[in-house]
Amino acid sequence: MRRPGSIMAVLVAVAGMGIGAIACAAAPAQMDAAALQGYAGKPWNKAALMNTTVELGRYRNVPVVAEFPCSDVCPQYTVRIIHYRLPPDVSCASVGGVEKKVLVPVAITVLPRTFCIPEPLVASGQYYAK
């Protein structure tokens, strides 16, 4: 014979597990240098990604994103920039990043903008792609 409280306990436990699973799934994954380089080495679709930002995960516990700005002639001039999304009041050097200026499409031209780049992508130049 079942106890009336036992069914409720199971439902609460299952609901709790579901909430935990959702919270875990939403947390950005930690990445290592190989994962960063692997993503940077993959082909990407300019038309599908233009004017978007994709959260890749965390490297050294700092969020990393791939930004796909485009401006005038899209999607032909879409570029990809992989960089840290630094929290306020955090310097690039303090997270082991390297500041790099890249050309970003703006209106009918391109302008230099400084980004904080994860160190594993600097030597290869994979942080910036046209």
pTM of the predicted protein model: 0.79
* Model pLDDT for residues 97-119, shown as the tens digit of each residue: 999 999 999 989 999 999 999 99
Residues 6+ apart with CB under 8 A from 45: none
Tokens of 106: 């703006």
* Model pLDDT for residues 36-88, shown as the tens digit of each residue: 999 999 999 999 999 999 999 999 999 999 999 999 899 999 999 999 999 99
The residue among 130, 126, 108 whose CA lies nearest residue 41 is 126
